[in-house]
Chains A and B, each alone.
Chain A
Amino acid sequence: MVFVWNIDVDPVGSLLWAITLIGLSGLPGLLLKRPGPGQILSVGITACAALWGMVGALRILGGAPATRYQLDWPLPFGPCELSVDPLSALFLLPLLLAALCCSLYGLAYLPAASQPAVEKRVTLFSGLLLASMALVLVARHGVLLLVAWEIMALSSWLLLMTDQQSLQVQRAGTVYLLATHTGTMALFVLFSLVKGETGSFAFPPAHSLALGATVTLVMLVAALIGFGAKAGIMPLHIWLPGAHANAPSHVSALMSGIMLKVGIYGIIRTVSFFQQLPVWFGWLLLLLGAVSAITGIALASAQRDLKRLLACSSIENIGIICIGLGMALVGLQSGNRVLAVLGLAGACIHIINHALFKPLLFLGSGAIIHATGTRQIDRMGGLSRVLPRTAPLFLVGSLAICGLPPLNGFVGELFLYFGAFSDGMLAELPVIGFVAPILALVGGLAVITFVKLYGAIFLGVARDPAIKQGHEAPLAMLLPMGLLAGLCLLAGIGAPLLLQLVAPVVIQYAGVSPLLFTQIAGAVPLQQIALVNGLLLAGILVVWLIWCFLVQRAPVAASSTWGCGYLAPTPRMQYTGSAFSELVTGLISGLVGSQGRVSGLSGAFPASTRFVTVTTERILDQMIIPSLRGVDWCLAWLRHLQHGHLHLYILYIFATLFVLMVWSQP
């Protein structure tokens, strides 16, 4: 294997080095006998490499040339090219930030001292997962991308299986493995077609492919299934809630904040190959995005499991990103530059934003689990006393993910609203205008979901005396959360900075001149919004001061909560998270059901009994699994091929190759 490196440190080179270092960061720990130093070493390497890489990514976004590197190896699929253009850099930047935050967090969340066996595995595969995701982003060759894709899928699966004794984890792992490999199969189709049409697995240059309608259709659908399954677009999302809920929290943060975006990257990259896209593709993406956004957040609102809720809300955010991409593609195909710029800018900004607040919330959920030992929202309560530092950080994340000003979530959605309103105002047939009410509905549901989440966990008093009331998270866990929360605030107040970050990507892929971009994006009043945000903060301060003045003038007393005259309230009487979302769950009962079971209630004087409610997901439990059972029944005879004898498996491979060889002879 011969690496051909340039000697001077250009940003692409430094990024490639950083990726390599992160990928290998778990290795020294394997060689050391004593648990501990390996983890610290790995965190140190990852943190330094991530910071170094972030500088590189920022330089690429600032206009540094995208040097191309050739990985010149004697493998059958030929030399592979690596490069980092602004699109890759836009995804690498949050990836490296998450690498920094999550590895530091892992130091306290899964300390080597108490969990030596698990820690080594998690450290090794976290590094591999990060590096393979980054490799997917920098690969410019179909097979190399697939190799990285497979390492990503397997290392994330191994991370997900950390708690492998639990049945729930095993089930989630199986579903994940099946879903990810179904997606990979679609990618095989995609890249085989690329090879068939261009004669090489190397990525064709941007906007160069002009193919027949059928081939284009198959390639786009394959990309949508393959990359869309990883991104968690709606009918392909079934693996997502289970996988994200059962992984260790900092791994969930990586999977939800970054790995889903790698799927989005794949869709954008594939789309960029084509000279001319069919019109339906933009509309399809828009439709899928709208469906994902609404159903994702509706599913989230009904969840009782803290991390499942966050995972479902990732489906919503991916939906919002897809709405933006669909809007941009429709704009491109109809020659509407305004729509293209606003949609793409909204999608890109939301990609960055989601990579800030979703890891923040997942890391926060880790702190909650660390303190209570449970993921059941309905059993918690009053944790803001136990976790006085985590609580405000979690609040920042919750406000940001609802898209409320003055935080960053508002900025991305603002661009999409602008696209929708400009279409609604001017277009002959303003179909995209309907995006505005859809986003509004999604925003309303997000407020329900996150008021429920924050309220049921941190406010009130503890509902279940049986769960432990632990202690505040250590500094190594608080620091990454603080950093992410600070960035959420910064990106919200300094929104023009966010726009600057995504500008090179939007200019390139929306096909506009920098001048036109400034004109179109400049129409979005980021400065005025910043001004009003400042006014809002000042207003809060003024009202607060007036209130403080009024309160301290008169006597202040402490008492118990007014129970409307009832004198013996108990914590169990509080509204639970499930009760809170019951109204809305009733409205969306087609998607998610809640089944209550009373056991052993009989006779005139029944003894004490139990009432259990479970949330069922209709799409997975009542549609996909029964249909898979049907497939299973049809293909049961094939099971005889799977008998566990290794030598016969090798024989299968030999036989397949032999048949292929004979077949390929002319």
Chain B
Amino acid sequence: MMMSILFHILLLLLMPPLLLGVINKTKAAFAGRLGAPYFQPYYDLAKLFRKGSVFSSTTTWIFRAGPVVTLAATLVAALLVPLGNHPAIISFNGDMILFAYLFGLARFFTTSAALDTGSPFEGMGAAREVTFACLVEPTLFFILITLARMSKSLSLTPMLIYPSPAVWQDAGAAMLLLVGALFVALLAENCRIPFDDPNTHLELTMIHEVMVLDHSGPAFGLILYGAALKLFVLGAVFVNLALPFKSGNLLIDWIAFVAAMLLLAVLIGVVESVMARLRLIRIPQLLVAATILSAFAMLLIVR
């Protein structure tokens, strides 16, 4: 048991950058390239942590606090999520509300740090980030309340461990809608295609990448790591819903979870390879559609 918790924390801390590596490898494979090694994001982080920093003279302590608070809030949120069949490190009734609000806190500081630079690009990115995140928020809560109703519990761990093949058989339509809405929320929250393109920094349609243009060295490293961690955390939520595989055996469950996460990374890579980014004005429409899908899921459960 002790070993399992230790492995849980290590996985939480060490695995996130690997997801980025797998996504990039998948995209390279689609493009017919060899691609960067799977562990490239780790090398990038190690390099960034050793680099010097440049601070704009317009910035204040908010700019420095941005990456720090964002990473800390994401780390605490990560402790509230169960990984596969393994309960979260911290679990209590109502933790899902805190989970959502911790991301709100992170967003407040990331966007404030962007505004602190005084750059029009970063202001643009910050405005888009808060607006799209605001539209994702109701989707997330519709999903949570539907799960609460299905599992008759108010905590993330029982809620997310609840889905099983039997549940999928019983309430397949609702689960399908939930998974669809959650996948949209996952892509939007993590600024992936079709909402944002993590590869191009300087296009005016960028969201996340343009917000962190001015961060350099270790601060940028923290941001990259925090973004990977957020992908990992929301990915874990998604994997629990979409692939409800449970054996009861500790080791098999861990292997299944890791495999499922890698599969999710491949899926994101495929989506990024076959889709183009949406036009900016289409994004709110897609996000509202996802909210309505999740509301439908709730209606199906209530009926």
Residue numbers of A with Cβ under 8 A of B are 381-382, 384-385, 395, 399, 402-405, 410, 414, 417-418, 420-422, 424-426, 429-430, 433, 436-441, 443-445, 447-448, 450-451, 454-456, 459-461, 523-525, 528-529, 531-532, 535-536, 539-540, 542-544, 547, 550-551, 553-564, 569, 571, 573-575, 579-584, 587
Contact = CB atoms under 8 A, between A and B. Distances in A.
Contacts of B219: 547, 551
B119 interface: yes
B92 A436 contact: no
Given A429-B302, A561-B117, 18 more contacts: A402-B104, A404-B104, A420-B145, A425-B152, A437-B138, A439-B141, A447-B108, A460-B118, A529-B94, A543-B68, A547-B218, A554-B52, A557-B52, A557-B53, A560-B58, A575-B123, A580-B115, A582-B127
B141 A437 contact: yes
Contacts of A422: 154
A381 B139 CA distance: 34
Contact of A539 (B76, B101, B202, B221): B76
Contacts of B98: 405, 529, 532
B60 A459 contact: yes
Interface string B204-230: 000000000110011101100000000
B218 A583 contact: no
24 contacts: A402-B108, A404-B105, A405-B98, A410-B101, A421-B97, A426-B152, A440-B141, A441-B134, A444-B130, A444-B136, A448-B130, A455-B126, A459-B60, A459-B116, A525-B95, A532-B90, A542-B72, A553-B50, A554-B53, A556-B53, A560-B57, A564-B202, A580-B126, A583-B127
Nearest to B93: A525
A447 B134 contact: yes
Contacts of B51: 554
B102 to A, nearest CB: 7
Interface of B: 49-60, 62, 64-65, 67-69, 71-73, 75-76, 79-80, 90, 92-95, 97-98, 100-102, 104-105, 107-108, 111-112, 115-124, 126-128, 130-131, 133-142, 144-145, 148-149, 152-154, 202, 213-214, 217-219, 221-222, 284, 291, 295, 298, 302
A440 B140 contact: yes
Contact of B101 (A404, A454, A528, A557): A404
Given A528-B92, A561-B58, A574 B217 contact: no
Contact of B72 (A444, A455, A543): A543
Contacts of A395: 62
Contacts of B152: 425-426
Contacts of B222: 543, 547
A444 B135 contact: yes
Counting chain A CB atoms within 10 Å of each CB, the highest count among B131, B133, B135, B153 belongs to B131
A568 to B, nearest CB: 13
Contact of B105 (A405, A441, A557): A405
A523 B93 contact: yes
Counting chain B CB atoms within 10 Å of each CB, the highest count among A456, A461, A547 belongs to A547
A178 to B, nearest CB: 35
B199 to A, nearest CB: 16
A456 B53 contact: no
A582 B100 CA distance: 25
A345 B52 CA distance: 51
A444 B58 contact: no
Contacts of B57: 558-560
Contacts of B102: 405, 536
Nearest to A528: B92
Contacts of B144: 421, 436
B57 to A, nearest CB: 5
A621 B302 CA distance: 42
Contacts of B108: 399, 402, 404, 447, 450-451
A417 B218 contact: no
Contacts of B90: 528, 531-532, 535
A319 to B, nearest CB: 16
B127 A459 contact: no
Given A384-B62, A459-B115, A460-B117, A551 B53 contact: yes
Given A447-B107, A574-B120, A562 B145 contact: no
A408 to B, nearest CB: 13
B115 A424 contact: no
Contacts of A448: 130-131, 134
A277 B286 CA distance: 42
